[in-house]
Chain A
Amino acid sequence: MTSETPRRRPRGRGRRRLSRAGRLLAALLLVGGLYTAFAPGLAAQDTPLSPTAAEGKALYDVSCITCHGRNAQGVEGRGPSLIGVGEAAVEFQVGTGRMPMARQEAQAPDKPPLWEGEELERNTAALAAYIQELGGGPEMPPGTNLSAGGDPGIGGELYRINCSSCHAYSGGGGALSSGAYAPGLGEATDREIWAAMVSGPQNMPVFGDNQLTPQEKADVIAFINYLQDDGDPGGVFTLGRLGPSTEGVAIFLVGITALLFASLWIAGKS
């Protein structure tokens, strides 16, 4: 530091320190404020859960949290996040017994649900309310008859284009790759079909209202109901409605076997 160079008079040391502290404080306030304003978790915590949802959270924290994690945010390698799957997904997965899963495998099979009767209804509704309030997502319409006003003819056309490539013409279901499969629809209820369409469980794509309007969903359900009640005019045995493969088995097991016995019989007579 040379003394010849003309120097401006430096500001007071105290003033400089004050200015620095002020800017830091402002920056901290800004970041903190922004965080407070936008952080979702804090916001959610701000709105209290409805009593049903709180009941659902209690159930969730016992039965679901192992795989789907705290606040339904998912656990890597175990279960997906449930943010945004909506009550439709809960109703489908829990109501058909697919969740909770017995073990990790290619696909959760449907099985007897964890609860029965009214308890099942109440607990499913509670869980559904919790997931819905937590992250939103597709909702379910009320009532059990969701095919009202549906046209099975139109529904059949939609079914064959959108659904039959996995669930088969006759709703018998089919195999997907690597052990996954599309289940048969023979026992499916209106609500299950609707919930599956809007939530897209497991390998199934979502058929939102922009793909299939609610009216078209009703049509599809009406067609599936028709399939279920078709009554198979062709005979007592439907061969699983699996098409030519079981027919091929039948012609050998029944037709050829019967005629082999017949030829043994007739050749033995004189």
Chain B
Amino acid sequence: MHLEYTPEQNAFRVEVRAWMEAHVPKEPLVTLECREGYDQHVEWERTLASGNWGMVTWPEAYGGRGLDLIQWLIFEEEYFRAGGPNRANQNGIFLLGPTIMEFGTEEQKKRFLTPMAKGEVIWAQAWSEPGAGSDMAAISSKAVRDGDHYVITGQKTWSSRAAFADWGFGMFRTDPESKRHKGLTFILFDINSPGITRRPIRQLHGDTGFAELFFDEVRVPVENCLAGEGEGEGWNVAMATAGFERGLMLRSPGRFQATAKRLVDLYRKHEAEASPAAREAVLLAWMSAQAYAYNTYAVAAKIMAGGKIGAEASLNKIFWSELDRSMHRTAMQLLGAHAELKRFDDGSVNQWLEGYIFSLSGPIYAGSNEVQRNITAERMLGLPRVGAG
């Protein structure tokens, strides 16, 4: 263990910082969860790609820079230091991309990864169904083989980005006789295919970040399936994707360290009327964001040494989602009567309010924290399982 960056790592940080300072939009973008904001965020993905910053860890052959995970963390730190926008393509670059890297054929890597890194194709996830939320093994949407195509019929819901995105990925039942985890296949599909209807879902804040997807005999070429059909293939691929989602990539520590720093600044502004409890909450926010960063650096080092992320991905997801919620709650309490204002007196957007509302989704998406606690208890601590498995 050593805590000094190498001269090369420091030089890389300087390079990222200079680019971010020159390119990150000066004004916050409109929320990703409406047409105008989505288009702005896609434009930002393409600006990032113009600097070759789409996904720095991927090989150059797939639109990346071939950097290691420490450099990725440095990139993310500088990204959030500069106030970089949310990534419109996070379902692609952070979840599907690493999954294709692990399970995809060479042809699939070439076909899907480069346009993903360049922001040319934006991805939605299609995990949940009306009857399969936390219990994902209850998926019933079917993909029936017909020659060199699947014919998909069914419904997905809570599909992040699906209101506007280009492509989606999810699991479908390819073996009609199968039950639970078996007989599911991981399939990538063009959301504009004939037979797919998207119905945006209005969220509690009024915007439409996710959507329902209805599939009516949608024909998808079999080469769009990842890792093939088989007893448990699709489930294994999905669990790997979920591991990436909960584990290392989806929420890098820079995001929370930036929030903690803003919270410290906010506290200083409101110090005169703040309670001692708020002061402690602010300190705990900084400490927890730092703890998350140390842990992520340790996980990155472990992966670089040939290790893997296991059940600890669930611990991660519980930790960052509850940290994010508590930091924003503390901010709302510090803001007092200003907390409810959508815009402050000076016309600026109340990012704490937007962030608080968004933070409430964190303990729900990517597998609810109740499910994560079950996984932790059963797979890490070895407590007995109950019910259907």
Q: Do A and B come from one complex?
A: no
Binding site for B on A (CB under 8 A): none
